[in-house]
Amino acid sequence: MKNYDPAFIAAVIALVMTLLNSKYSLAQDSISEAMLWQHRLLIFNVDNKQQLPQIDTEIRDEFNLQIITLIDTKAYLIDSNDNYQQLSAAHYSELSKNYSQAQHAWLIGLDGGVKANYPIDSFDLDAVASLINTMPMRQRQLQQQ
């Protein structure tokens, strides 16, 4: 099982907590600029692990995605090998307040804003990828390749 670097976990938690405290928008000085502009988040609120879509490592890497899920009163950070690292009860409590709609997923952009909300039963990774590809930061990334 892969363990994340504690500094990385702290940065992800800080990002999520900042999102929660700012009603879905981030101030740049609230989190390290490196984390804010390097990772998009997919946050899932589901009943069980089987409801989560498979997201390949290549897709996660290409779109700089980190996955967080809320399952049965717990929050987890899921790595690219599908290992679940449990976050604290306090983090679950804060996440569940703002991402309380069961059976849904939220896409959080590089800028920390909520970009979309998807019902789990119609979640389509291709639609998420298409949306990300329309974002200004992604457009710049594609032009630089």
Please give the single-letter amino acid code of residue 35: M
Residues of the chain with pLDDT under 70: 1-36
> Torsion-angle region of residue 136: left (phi > 0), alpha (psi -120 to 50) or beta?
alpha
CA-atom Rg of the chain in angstroms:
14
Domains and CATH numbers, the chain: 6-144 (3.40.30)
CA dist., res. 43 & res. 76, Å (int): 10
Q: What is the pLDDT of residue 142?
A: 86
Q: Which residues, at least 6 apart from 143, have a Cβ–Cβ distance to it below 8 Å?
A: none
Residues 9-20 have pLDDT tens digits of 666 666 665 555
Rounded to two decimals, what is the model's pTM? 0.76
Residues 27-45 have pLDDT tens digits of 333 323 434 677 899 999 9
